[in-house]
Chain A
Amino acid sequence: MIRPVRFTEDLSTLPTHKFGPSSLTWWGIMGFMLIEGVAFGLVFAAYFFLMGHEASWPPGGRSPPNLLAGTLFTILILLSEIPNTRIKVAAREGDVPTIRLLMPLMVGIGLVLFVIRGFEFDSLNILWTDTAYGSVIWALLLLHTTHILTDWYDTVVLAMLMRTPVAYEERRLVDTDENCMYWRYVWLLWLPVYLMIYWVPRL
């Protein structure tokens, strides 16, 4: 730099981590959540666009999906917010032992959710090849499955990392906090998906 400089302030005491919107990764995650939210929103729009053409929904007098598996899934994913919140609070408090205890539980809950999800696919009463209605509800369920799969895998990797001494680095606590935030997003998005797959066809 050829231009002479004038020193103003020394920032060496500035922190290297903060929770929430100060964190750079928080903004990155927000960006990707927006992208996914827009994608879901557009599938919703496609769903209603297709539905608008039909005299009955599901078209052709088919039965709507069976409620049991999807409702069980909804109850369990809502309950998963209890350990999720506890992990989030522990991350903010720097409580590594609680995080180490509860993250495997979240991994286990994820596994149970996958099993129920398998039964959900079986209870749609239609294949993706039968009518655009079948295509769009399979798309909704598949998209959401990808959503939980990615966050579940992220949780697995983070849970492993939190078993190491690196867990005591504050930035990893921020990662944990933001992973919990993402899980909230995953189940929040599930609620409209649940309504559209299981209840809108019953209206």
Chain B
Amino acid sequence: MTSYDVRADEERLARERKKIVRDGPGLTGARLARRLERAWNRPPGLLGWLATVDHKEIGRRYIVTALIFLALGGALALVMRLQLARPDQDLVGAARFNELFTMHGSTMMFLFAVPVMEGVAVYLIPLIVGTRSTAFPRLNAFSYYMYLFGGLMLWGAFVLNVGPDIGWFAYTPLSGPQFSPGKRADVWAQMITFTEVSALAAAVVLAATILKCRAPGMTLARMPLYAWAMLVVAVMIIFSMPAVALASSMLISDRLVGTNFFNAWEHGDNLLWQHLFWFFGHPEVYIIFLPATGFVSVIVETFCRRPVFAYPVVVLALISTGILAFGLWVHHMFATGLPRVGYSFYTAASMTVAIPTGLQIFCWLATMWDGRPRLQVPMLYVIGFIVTFVIGGLSGVIIASVPLDLELHDTYFIVAHFHYVLIGGAVFPLLGALTYWFPKITGRMMDETLGKISFWMIFLGFQLAFFPMHFSGLLGMPRRVYTYPAGLGLELPNLLSTIGAFVVGASVLLFVVNALWSYFRGVAAPDNPWGAASLEWATSSPPPVYNFEHIPVVESRTPLWDEPDELPVITGLRVDEKEMLMTTVVAAAPDLREPVPLPSLWPLISAIATGVLFISSIFSPWAVAVGAIPAAIALTAWFWPKELKRHPEPVLS
């Protein structure tokens, strides 16, 4: 490169730098919007659609895909409930039933719950923190495609009758080479790899966005509680998901290349699997639950028309829940036999985690007490959440006690407990949140009457489906049995559960019908239909591709309430290329102007290459070495600049 004349090129750059267009008092309104659209719009057509790096498009795809998996997982649940409606039925056999509960659990945990929470955050977080894009938007696109391919692989295998049948936590030795010949367990293990790569990538995207991309003035002490919740969740994902990825890699290598991690005959240990799995699996529960507490804080604040009571307490509760969640995993293993000290420690830790959760609940109740609650659909879901989650939380606290856990372990009591905390604790707030942000995402309001009907149906149907399971569990009905004999007193609770399950199914269907109807025919939504306080409501509904014409400045925790008439903004960002603002981590002082990557097909191609590697490694370990080559090429092309010349200011092409 001796021919490159640095000085001459720098003179050219200085000249070009003068031509850069920036927003400001002289460039605002419709003229600015046209400029920004030109810079931020992706190319039209299918290729542009696949190449998008817009967090709103990716977030919407995440949400829709996750809801499709929810419907699929829910359909499996209905088949199981039909089978269990009466004793001694043979609608499905034992082997198929094993596949059904494995697919149901794996789909709900890995393909619905975590991705939907990440998807909502991918859509909302940049709007809530007042910026134009997520950090690393191409990584974000890659993360979605990895998730999609993992889900397609799992369901493709199920349709081809090689779906996993080893339970969603795939205990060894059942899932090991001796007791699960064939490919079913390998499909499960690689689905884990796909979804963990995806979730970890999204976690890095979200953490970096929350830490570095907040609007100026949005200090950590002013950050909306939903952003706090997602920050804690992102860090939890980073610390917990490597455990399950590692465990599933060990499992697949035991199965394919003859390692002995879980082979007791060769000095391995099956409990190692349980430790690694639950070191992920317990934090996972909070990874699903904490985003929901973020939704609740937002909805309570908006619908009670006052800031959430004791903001610092809620933030500290989120953080301490995130930390305590890593000290509980052994309570899933009480039945394996542990030293006495282990029992005492994990019982105490499991009970302790109820404290920060309880604090949050009391803060929400105090907010409602002191505010003027409006009982619209999102708020109804919050109330349904509090009632249901408290029941599930209490049944959780009592089974933290070892003697009771040993009695109830692997019974329907446990099934009732975790559906109370997961559906009550996460799905109810999620449905409330979807109703709440639907106008922002689509520009239309969801129908209030249909919304109320589906709320009451799901709330009551849920209690009908899952409350009787406490009794079937106390009567001794084990989980994961495909049928039960008559005369044990299990007929009534099971029949009630089945009826309730179908009511829940119908209510979710009604929710979808309402969403579709409202999407096409709903009342047009104003910018801030609920009179909310946070920044996403300062832009139009739906937001333009660049989110905000000027980057807002934040001077309080509830900016739109404290300054109702005008929006303070900063100026000076480029508008002829994609650019966003970086601020400092704690004080959110302006720090850097950062170029935003242009749309690119390489994240998709990288995901395809990685996907081919993962899937073919089920069949031959050599696929890892051979498949790494196209993956490395695709990842290189992703980062390699499209023109090897300098720009007046950095551009990521």
Q: Name B590's contact: one of A7, A11, A165 (CB within 8 Å).
A: A11
The verdict on A1 contacting B572 (CB below 8 Å), with A54-B267, A166-B645, A169-B650 known, is no
> Once the chains bind, are A38 and B243 in contact (CB under 8 Å)?
yes
Q: Is the CB of B646 within 8 A of A38?
A: no
Q: Mark B308-351, 1 if CB is under 8 A from A, else 0.
A: 00000000000000000000000000000000000000000000
Mark interface residues in A151-180 (1 if CB within 8 Å of B CB, else 0): 001000100010111111111000000000
B200 CB–A CB distance under 8 Å:
yes
Residue of B nearest to A96 (CB): B6
Select which of B136, B239, B567, B592 is within 8 A of A4 by beta carbon.
Answer: B567
- Give the Cβ gap from A13 to chain B, nearest Cβ, in Å: 7
Does B129 reach chain A (CB closer than 8 Å)?
no
* Residues of chain B within 8 A of A104, CB atoms compared: none
B268 and A128: CB pair below 8 A?
Answer: no
B90 within 8 A of A: no
- Least CB distance from B303 to A in Å reads 22
Which of A4, A10, A18, A129 is in CB contact (< 8 Å) with B258? A129
Surface stretch bound by B, among A81-89, A113-121, A134-142, A183-191: A134-142
Are the C-beta atoms of B650 and A17 separated by less than 8 Å?
A: yes
Interface residues of B in 252-275 (CB under 8 A from A): 253-254, 257-261, 263, 266-269, 272, 275
Please determine whether A27 and B212 come into contact, CB atoms closer than 8 angstroms: yes
Which residue of A14, A131, A168 contacts B646 across the interface (Cβ within 8 Å)?
A168
**Would you give the 0/1 interface string for B568-594, flagging 1 where the beta carbon is closer than 8 Å to chain A?**
111111000000011011000011111
Closest residue on chain A to residue B204 by CB atoms: A31
The residue on B at minimum CB distance from A9 is B570
Nearest-Cβ distance from residue A190 to partner chain B, whole angstroms: 18
Residues of B within 8 A of A36 (CB): 242
How would residues 532 to 571 of chain B score, 1 for a CB under 8 Å from any chain A CB and 0 otherwise? Answer: 0000001110000000111001000000000001111111
List A84-141 residues whose CB lies under 8 Å from chain B: 100, 128-136, 138-139
Which residues does chain B contribute within 8 Å of A31, judged by CB atoms?
203-204, 207-208, 238
Q: Is the CB of B644 within 8 A of A14?
A: no
For the complex, is B353 an interface residue (Cβ under 8 Å from A)? no
Which chain B residues border A167 with CB–CB below 8 Å?
Answer: 1
Q: Are A27 and B260 in contact (CB under 8 A)?
A: no
Report the bound CA distance from A39 to B643 in whole Å: 37
- On chain B, the residues within 8 Å of A4 by CB distance are 565-567
Q: Is the interface of A mostly helix, strand, loop or mixed?
A: helix
Within 8 A of A (CB), among B599-653: 632, 636, 639-641, 644-647, 649-650
Cα distance A154–B459 in the bound complex, in angstroms: 52
With A15-B592, A128-B258 already in contact, the answer to whether A39 and B246 are too (CB < 8 A) is yes
Whether B239 pairs with A38 at a CB distance below 8 angstroms is: yes
Name B243's closest neighbour in chain A (CB-CB). A42
Q: Is B598 an interface residue (CB 8 A)?
A: no
Question: In chain B, what residue has the closest Cβ to A142?
Answer: B253
B43 at the interface (CB under 8 A from A): no
Contact A5 B590 (CB under 8 A): no
In the complex, residue of chain B having the shortest beta-carbon distance to the beta carbon of A11: B572
Question: Is B87 interfacial (CB-CB < 8 Å)?
Answer: no
Chain A stretch 1-46: residues in CB contact (< 8 A) with chain B: 1-18, 21-24, 27-28, 31-32, 34-36, 38-39, 42-43, 45-46
Bound CA–CA A136/B276 (angstroms)? 14
A14 engages B591 (CB within 8 Å)? yes
Instruction: Decide if A14 touches B590 in the complex (CB within 8 Å).
Output: yes
In the complex, the answer to whether B640 meets A157 with C-beta atoms within 8 Å is yes
Alpha-carbon distance between A38 and B216 when the two chains are bound, in angstroms? 33
Q: Does B644 contact A164, Cβ atoms closer than 8 Å?
A: yes
Interface flag for B527 (CB, 8 Å): yes
Which of B9, B245, B268 has the most A CB atoms < 10 Å from its CB?
B268
Contact residues in A for B254 (Cβ distance below 8 Å): 135
**Please, how many angstroms separate the alpha-carbon atoms of A46 and B276 in the complex?**
8
Interface membership of A59, Cβ < 8 A: yes
> Do A165 and B640 touch across chains, with their CB atoms under 8 A apart?
no
Contact across chains for B592 and A164 when beta carbons are under 8 A apart: no
Complex contact A9–B590 (CB within 8 A): yes
From B250, B267, B572, give the contact of A53 (CB < 8 A).
B267
* A157 contacts across to B, CB distance below 8 A: 636, 639-640
Q: Is the CB of B553 within 8 A of A132?
A: no
B53 within 8 A of A: no
Give the number of residues in B that approach A within 8 Å (Cβ atoms).
82
Q: What is the CA–CA distance of A38 and B203 in the complex, to the nearest angstrom?
A: 14
Chain A residues positioned under 8 Å from B212 (CB to CB)? 24, 27
CB of B592 within 8 A of CB of A128, answer: no
Contact of A27 among B208, B275, B527 (CB under 8 A): B208
In the complex, which residues of chain B have a beta carbon less than 8 angstroms from the beta carbon of A166?
641, 644-646
| Structural contact, B593 and A1, CB atoms closer than 8 A | no
Contact call A5/B592, Cβ cutoff below 8 A:
no
Per a CB cutoff under 8 Å, which of A11, A128, A153 touches B581? A11
Q: Is B594's CB under 8 angstroms from A24's CB?
A: yes
Q: Which of B266, B268, B571, B647 lies in contact with A10, CB distance below 8 A?
A: B571
Looking at B21-29, B104-112, B149-157, B504-512, the stretch in contact with chain A turns out to be: B21-29
Identify the interface centre among B28, B266, B568, B649: most chain A CB within 10 Å of its CB.
B266
CA distance A9 to B594 in the complex (A): 17
Residues in B neighbouring A38, C-beta threshold 8 A: 238-239, 242-243
Are A16 and B258 interface neighbours, CB within 8 A? Answer: no
Residues of B within 8 A of A7 (CB): 24-25, 550, 569-571
Judging by beta carbons under 8 Å apart, are B590 and A34 in contact?
Answer: no
Contacts of B538 in A (CB 8 A): 1, 3
Q: By the criterion CB–CB under 8 Å, are B246 and A42 in contact?
A: yes
Give the chain B neighbours of A28 by CB distance below 8 A.
135-136, 139, 204, 208
Q: Given the known inter-chain contacts A35-B200, A132-B266, please indicate yes or no for A11 contacting B593, CB distance below 8 A.
A: yes
Is B259's CB under 8 angstroms from A128's CB? yes
Is A195 interfacial (CB 8 A cutoff)? Answer: no
Complex alpha-carbon distance, A59 and B322, angstroms: 38
Give Cα A157 to B566, complex, Å. 48
**A68 an interface residue at 8 Å Cβ cutoff?**
no
B539 CB contacts on chain A under 8 angstroms: 1
Contact B591–A10 (Cβ < 8 Å): no
B266→A131 contact, CB < 8 A: yes
Q: Say how far B565's CB is from chain A's closest CB, in angstroms.
A: 7
Q: Is B431 an interface residue (CB 8 A)?
A: no
A10/B239 in contact, CB under 8 A: no
Q: How far apart are the CA atoms of A183 and B592 in the complex, in Å? A: 26
Q: B572 near A13 (CB under 8 angstroms)?
A: yes
Most buried by A among B207, B259, B538, B548: B259
| B520 within 8 A of partner (CB) | no
Among candidates A42, A135, A139, A165, residue contacting B268 with C-beta atoms closer than 8 Å: A135
Q: How far is A136 from B527 in the complex, measured between Cα atoms in Å?
A: 57
Extra 7 A-B pairs, beta carbons < 8 Å, given A16-B594, A135-B253: A1-B550, A24-B582, A49-B272, A53-B267, A128-B257, A132-B260, A169-B650
Sorted nearest first, the 6 A-B pairs with minimum C-beta distance are A12-B572, A31-B204, A135-B259, A132-B268, A11-B572, A39-B242
8 example contacts (A-B, Cβ-Cβ < 8 A) are as follows A1-B550, A4-B565, A7-B550, A11-B593, A14-B590, A46-B272, A131-B267, A132-B259
Q: Interface of B with A (CB < 8 Å)?
A: 1, 4, 6, 9, 22, 24-25, 28, 135-136, 139, 200, 203-204, 207-208, 211-213, 216, 238-239, 241-243, 245-246, 250, 253-254, 257-261, 263, 266-269, 272, 275-276, 279, 527, 538-540, 548-550, 553, 565-573, 581-582, 584-585, 590-595, 632, 636, 639-641, 644-647, 649-650
